[in-house]
Amino acid sequence: MKIIIKHETGNRLRVHYPFKGMSFREADALEYYLHGFSQIREVKVYERTADAVIIYTCDRSVALDILKGYDPENVNVPDTVYESSGREVTAMYRERIVTTILVHYCKKILIPVSIRRIWEQIKAVKYILRGIRTLKNKRLQVELLDAVAITAAILTGDYKTASSVMFMLKIGDTLEEWTHKRSVDDLARRMSLNVDKVWKVTDDGEVLTDSSDVVCGDRVVVRIGNIIPFDGTVSDGEAMVNQASMTGESSAVRKADGASVFAGTVVEEGDITITVTQTEGCGRFDKIVRMIEESEKLKSSLESKAEHLSDRLVPYTFLGSALTWFFSRNVSKAVAVLMVDYSCALKMAMPISVLSAIREATEYGITVKGGRFLEAVSDADTIVFDKTGTLTKACPTVKDVISFCDESSDELLRQAACLEEHFPHSVARAVVDAASEKGLFHEELHTKAEYIVAHGIASTIDGKKVVIGSYHFVFEDEGVVIPEDKQKLFDELPTEYSHLYFGKDGKLVACILIEDPMREDAADVVRKLKDQGFEHIVMMTGDSSRTAEAIAAKTGIDEFYAEVLPEDKAGFIEKAKAEGRHVIMVGDGINDSPALSAADAGIAISEGAAIARQIADITIGSESLESLVVLRDISDLLMKRIRFNYRTIVGFNTALIGLGIAGVLPPATSAMLHNGSTVALGLKSMTNLLSNDEYTAKPAGE
């Protein structure tokens, strides 16, 4: 497609497409297309001008080829992209604000004074009724203060002040609503489903199928630790399902034959087969938005404190106004006090600050489920790391398969992959990938597999019991023994790799050597976290002491625990909290879930198990641990911003009240300065906390 380069500087390009304009869907499609290229770091599409702005990380010619390669007819955009797009909402609010401003100033020029006064009286009714309705709560709230201020201005004939107050209130309400919706939608979009493959039940057994090929009536198997991809009813099996994403409740709910299940919930225990009742348009995005809006998790303690304080200050504003009139007998001075309150600014600036910080975090691939967790990260002095998939790379690989029987290594790998392919763990994926790379494809060889969290898998193949997992599970729990003539081979297993043991009919038949390299940035991130004030950096792993010690030495971690169970991790965190520490936990597996729940803030790796992401309060991208450093900086800066806003609001408005009582500022000026400062502070609170000079934001689609 032909494009016109409108502006170019460095690795930034602004181009125009040959359209008079774009619809919202067309702009979303173009943005989705451009986000699909790793060479494009940032994208912004302007539907009104049909322009696209990109920042690229490749050769200029490659970037231009990508831009010119856009063909609207050949871009298959998922419905969820349109469903969760904020483009139309942004345009609507922008238009609403512009219209409000134009109407406010045009009426002063075009409408006679007498008619304007009638208009102001009619508009005032809405604010007066809103104030009266708050009396049902049996508390004096800011809406009542606004209503009294507007009424007093009209009764004293100060229509200019009344008009100014209502204008600023409308602008403020619109800005707050817009920022809240944009931030919540960004967060919900990050939390939306991302399930590409599902196990579909067919006449030939279970088949791994693209989720887009599933239709209503199909039967899908969902096992422990996996996310339920569609709304449906249970047709077989029994499971405990975590429905926190839908209901906000942390306790799992039992689901058996005939029970309804919902897209986005997670199987904590057991496995079930569901009959799909709804695929597209499940309302998943809307459900998340409602959950976020209704959840008290959005409020940090500082935010809640400010909100409660704002309501408590309203009676004192009324009292100050009454005392001013009593001593001065000057209605203008009394009204000037009413025109200024702390509540409006506190209630507007604080939530906007938190929601904007959450939105900004998403730009760095970080999903935060509420303001209280940013506060927890800022307060934390202890951080606990899982090893596998967290400090080490999320993509371990199979280095070798050592056979302890007369079956070949490839055959044993094939059987192991058949067992592991159903379960969400980075080591399981490594086994499956290794089998695929060797072309070791298989049909289902085993009966129903049972996954034992943090231990391994048990099943039956050809009538023989098989187990695969850790040393503790295979040898100690299941009693598997090493063949007598293979003890020397076992003793000589390479120590630089993690070991996955495969037992059959009570005997060890294979050891799969897993290479689990440390993340390149792990040591640097640990050092930065120490510089940021973390006093205790701890690693806990179910792996051997030898492996744990080596990783701890390489990363600079001073405190580590090896061969621990899930309950041990959670117990350590509970003990640390009882000692007065503030603890955050970073993990990626099913076995990390108890610890993630126990921590003040649980942080999951995005490529980890679905149950870990579901339980966690924060999710970070799997590409780099640098996100933890970014998260700490955002959290610290947010807390500073909230405290700054609090001091500014109290100090500035106290000064306005004092000047009003002294007669220096008339009511109209007090109202203008108060409302103007409120909007200005709200706009300031919408700005990013971090500078892109230090950190690079990720494309929104990542």
Residue 311 pLDDT > 70, yes or no? no
Lowest-confidence segment of 140-154, 177-191, 277-291 by average pLDDT:
277-291
Work out the burial of residue 48: count CB atoms within 10 Å of its CB; fewer than 13 is exposed, 13-18 middle, 19 or more buried.
Answer: exposed
In angstroms, the CA 306 to CA 290 distance is: 24
**Percent of the chain at pLDDT exceeding 70:** 85
Quote the strand ranges of 371-497, DSSP E.
382-386, 397-403, 450-452, 456-461, 464-469
Q: What is the pLDDT of residue 244?
A: 62
pLDDT at residue 444, as a whole number: 59
282 backbone dihedrals φ, ψ, rounded to 5°: -70, -5
* CA atoms of 541 and 21, how far apart (whole Å): 55
pLDDT band per the 50, 70, 90 thresholds, residue 303: low
DSSP 194-214: ---EEEEEETTEEEEEEGGG-
- pLDDT value of position 529: 95
Better-scored residue on pLDDT, 248 or 602: 602
The answer to whether 679 touches 649, Cβ cutoff 8 Å, is no
The residues facing 254 across adjacent strands are: 240
Buried b (16+ CB within 10 A) or exposed e, 466-492: bbbbbbbbbbebbebebeeebeeeeee
Higher local confidence (pLDDT), 410 or 263: 410
Predicted confidence band at 290 (pLDDT cuts at 50, 70, 90)? low
pLDDT in tens, 609-666: 666 777 788 888 767 789 999 999 999 999 999 889 888 888 888 888 888 888 788 7
**Predicted local distance difference test score (pLDDT) of residue 15:** 93
The H-or-E segment that residue 274 falls in is strand 266-278
pLDDT tens track for 469-481? 888 889 988 899 9
With a cut of 50, say whether residue 165 has pLDDT above it: yes
**Secondary element (H or E) of residue 260:** strand 260-261
Mean pLDDT of the chain: 82
Burial of 39 (0-12, 13-18, 19+ CB in 10 A): middle
* 3-class DSSP string for 164-196: HHHHHHHHHHHHHHHHHHHHHHHHHHHHCCCCC
- Say what the pTM is: 0.69
Lowest mean pLDDT among 8-17, 245-254, 371-380, 599-608: 245-254
pLDDT of residue 699: 43
Q: Is the pLDDT of residue 695 over 70?
A: no
- Cα–Cα distance measured from residue 426 to residue 175, given in angstroms and rounded to the nearest whole number: 44
CA 353 from chain center: how many Å? Answer: 16
Lowest pLDDT segment from 244-253, 332-341, 519-528: 244-253
Predicted local distance difference test score (pLDDT) of residue 382: 96
Three-state secondary structure string covering 607-654 = CCCHHHHHHCCEEECCCCCHHHHHHHHHHHHHHHHHHHHHHHHHHHHH
CATH superfamily for domain 397-515: Calcium-transporting ATPase, cytoplasmic domain N (3.40.1110.10)
- Does the domain formed by 367-393+518-620 have CATH 3.40.50.1000? yes
Terminal-to-terminal C-alpha distance of the chain: 26
Q: How far apart are CA 172 and CA 685, in angstroms?
A: 13
- The angle subtended at Cα 119 by Cα 118 and Cα 124, nearest 5°, is 100
The predicted structure's pLDDT at residue 513: 93
- pLDDT score for 490: 92
Structure confidence at residue 447 (pLDDT): 54
pLDDT score recorded for residue 296: 43
Tokens of 24: 């919202």
Orientation angle between helical segments 159-191 and 113-133, nearest 10 degrees: 50
Instruction: Confirm or reject CATH 2.70.150.10 for domain 197-291, answering yes or no.
Output: yes
Residues 53-86: pLDDT tens digits? 999 989 999 999 999 999 888 888 876 677 667 7
Query: For the segment 577-610, what is each residue's pLDDT rounded down to a tens digit?
Result: 999 999 999 988 777 878 888 899 999 887 766 6
Q: Where are the domains positioned within the chain?
A: 4-77, 91-188+296-354+635-685, 197-291, 367-393+518-620, 397-515
CATH topology of domain 4-77: Alpha-Beta Plaits (3.30.70)
Beta strands 601-605; 583-587: pairing state: parallel
Q: Give the whole-angstrom CA distance, residue 48 versus residue 605.
A: 38
